[in-house]
Amino acid sequence: MEDKRSLGARTLLFPTPALVVGSYDADDRPDVMTVAWGGICCSKPPSVMVSIRPSRLTYANIMLHRAFTVSVPGAAHVREVDYIGQVSGRDADMFAVTGLTPVPAGSVHAPYVGEFPVALECRVTHVVDLGAHTLFVGEILDVKADATALDSEGKLDIEAIGLVTYIPGLERYFGLGPSLGKAFEVGKAFRSG
Amino acid sequence: MEDKRSLGARTLLFPTPALVVGSYDADDRPDVMTVAWGGICCSKPPSVMVSIRPSRLTYANIMLHRAFTVSVPGAAHVREVDYIGQVSGRDADMFAVTGLTPVPAGSVHAPYVGEFPVALECRVTHVVDLGAHTLFVGEILDVKADATALDSEGKLDIEAIGLVTYIPGLERYFGLGPSLGKAFEVGKAFRSG
C-alpha cells in the first residue's frame, strides 16, 4: 500500500457514462444533450438520475414536461455524443446536423435517439438542487432496445454494441475492455462457506 | 435505424461504476460495501451520489456519521470488489478476509481502502428516499490518489490503473477498452464554425 497524496476537492471518479438526455421544448421541438453526471439510482421503482445545469435548455424542458429519455450510445456514435455535449439546442438543430433521428417515446412526452441501441423512458419523480447542477430522478417506465443490441437470450450484447465511457480528469472517452468476470462469482474465492 | 422492442421498466444502463463505499459503524469499526448505483452528480460543490438500501449496515453508518468515502478500484481488485458486494459487515470483517487496509480519511470520519488507487472523502449533504434505495449526495471534500495512479503531469493514468465497470443486465465486470478520442474534440467534425 502506497501513501496517498491529496488532490483536493475534485469530481474524480471513473468510469462515468456518456448519456444523451432527450426532451421536448415548449414548442415540442426535440432537444438532446450529453451528460456524464448520471447513473442508475434505485432498483424499485427502477430509476435513473441525471444532473443538469439550470442554464441548459434541457433543464427548462424537463421542468416543463416532467419527462426525459436517456439514450445510451454504442461506440459507433462517440463523435455524435461529443458534438451533442458541445452545442446547445438553442443554437443548433443537433438532429439535423448529425443525421440522428428523434423518436417519440412510447410512455412519456420526450424523444429518444433512434440510432442508439438502448433508450430509457423516464418520468420525473424528484428534483434536487445541488448547486451548479440540479439532480433529476426519473422513474424508468420503459426501456427500448434494438434487436441487434440483444443476444439470442434477450440479454444485452455489449460486445456487439461497444460502450462509451467518459473519464473525468482525462476528458477522454474509452470503449469496452476485456471481461473481468461474472458478478457474484469472481469474489467467491474469499468466501469460506 | 431499426425498430426498437420494448423491454419493460428495467435498470438497464451502461456503463455503471463499481465503487466501494466506506463508513464506520457505531463502534467505529470500518465497513465497506460495493455499489454500482452511483456517480458524480454536481460540479460545484463537487459531489458524488451513491444509492443504498436502508437494510444495509452502510446505510445506518452514513446516517449516524453523515460521512462516507468512495474508493475507486483498479482492475487488479475486481475479486475484492465483487466479494465486498456479496457480504455484509454484520457477518464478516471484509478487511480481514481480503487483506485490504482501512485508512482513516483525512477530512471526514470514514475509512477508505488503502490499496485502491483513488478515494473520495465525502460529507453528506442530501438524503433522498427513492423507494428500495436511498440516494445519498456527498460533497467531495478531498480526493486521495496513489502517486502511481497519476502520470507525470498529475493526470489520472487510467491505463496503468485499469478500471472496473459493471454492466447491469449482464451482471458482468469489464475492464478498460481502447481510447475513443478526446472529449470536446472528436465531435468537432459536426461543427461548421
Asked casually if ipTM beats, i.e. exceeds, 0.85, the reply is: yes
Domain B16-190 has CATH 3.40.50.300: no
At residue B1, the pLDDT reads: 82
Cβ under 8 Å to B: A residues 158-177: 158, 162-177
pLDDT tens sequence across B112-143: 999 999 999 999 999 999 999 999 999 999 99
Can you tell me the distance from the alpha carbon of B50 to that of B36, in angstroms, rounded to the nearest whole number?
8
Is A120 in Cβ contact with B13 (below 8 Å)?
Answer: yes
Can you tell me the distance from the alpha carbon of A180 to that of A182, in angstroms, rounded to the nearest whole number?
7
At residue A35, the pLDDT reads: 98
Percentage above 90 pLDDT, chain A: 94
At residue B134, the pLDDT reads: 98
Single-letter residue type at A49: M
Can you tell me the distance from the alpha carbon of B82 to that of A174, in angstroms, rounded to the nearest whole number?
23
At residue B3, the pLDDT reads: 85
Q: Which of A13, A143, A147 sits opposite B39 (nearest CB)?
A: A13
Can you tell me the distance from the alpha carbon of A87 to that of A97, in angstroms, rounded to the nearest whole number?
11
Mutation pick from B2, B3, B6, B12 vs chain A, by most beta carbons of A within 10 Å, is B12
Is the backbone of residue B8 left (phi > 0), alpha (psi -120 to 50) or beta? left
For A78, other C-beta atoms within 10 Å of its C-beta total 23
Cβ under 8 Å to B: A residues 59-88: 70, 72, 75, 78-87
Which residues of chain A are modeled with pLDDT < 70?
A: 192-193
Torsion of CA B96, B99, B105, B108, to 10 degrees: -30
For A6, other C-beta atoms within 10 Å of its C-beta total 12
Q: What is the DSSP string of B39-103?
A: EEEEETTEEEEEEE-TTSHHHHHHHHHSEEEEEEPPGGGHHHHHHHTT--TTT--HHHHH---EE
- The model carries a pTM of 0.97
Among the listed residues B81, B76, B95, the one whose alpha carbon sits nearest the alpha carbon of residue B149: B76
At residue A191, the pLDDT reads: 82
Contact in structure between B39 and B17 (CB atoms under 8 Å): yes
Average of per-residue pLDDT values in chain B: 96
Residue B136, C-beta contacts closer than 8 angstroms, at least 6 positions apart: B49, B50, B51, B52, B62, B68, B124, B126, B127
Contact in structure between B39 and A16 (CB atoms under 8 Å): yes
Residues of chain B with Cβ-Cβ distance to A84 below 8 Å are 187
At residue A1, the pLDDT reads: 82
- The alpha carbon of B72 is separated from its chain's Cα centroid by a whole number of angstroms, namely 5
Burial of B163 from C-beta contacts in 10 A (0-12 / 13-18 / 19+): buried
Is B6 in Cβ contact with A144 (below 8 Å)?
Answer: yes
User: Per DSSP, what are the bridge partners of residue A179?
Assistant: B174
Residues of chain B with Cβ-Cβ distance to A170 below 8 Å are 155-156, 158
Phi, psi (deg, nearest 5) at residue A160: -75, -40
Q: Residue B15: pLDDT above 90?
A: yes
Residue B97, C-beta contacts closer than 8 angstroms, at least 6 positions apart: A190, B83, B87
Eight-state DSSP code of residue A54: T
Residue showing cell 432496445? A145
Q: Which residue of A has its CA nearest to B106?
A: A6
Mutation pick from B3, B33, B42 vs chain A, by most beta carbons of A within 10 Å, is B42
Percentage above 70 pLDDT, chain B: 99
Is the backbone of residue A88 left (phi > 0), alpha (psi -120 to 50) or beta? beta
Is B41 in Cβ contact with A130 (below 8 Å)?
Answer: yes
Among the listed residues A163, A159, A148, the one whose alpha carbon sits nearest the alpha carbon of residue A74: A163
Q: Residue B193: pLDDT above 60?
A: no
Of chain A, the end-to-end C-alpha distance in Å amounts to 28
Is B38 in Cβ contact with A132 (below 8 Å)?
Answer: no
Contact in structure between B119 and B111 (CB atoms under 8 Å): no
Residue B177 banded pLDDT, cuts 50, 70, 90: very high
Contact in structure between B139 and B153 (CB atoms under 8 Å): no
User: Per DSSP, what are the bridge partners of residue B8?
Assistant: A143
At residue A2, the pLDDT reads: 79
For B114, other C-beta atoms within 10 Å of its C-beta total 18
Can you tell me the distance from the alpha carbon of A171 to that of B51, in angstroms, rounded to the nearest whole number?
25
At residue B2, the pLDDT reads: 79
- The alpha carbon of B54 is separated from its chain's Cα centroid by a whole number of angstroms, namely 18
Q: Bigger pLDDT: B48 or B191?
A: B48
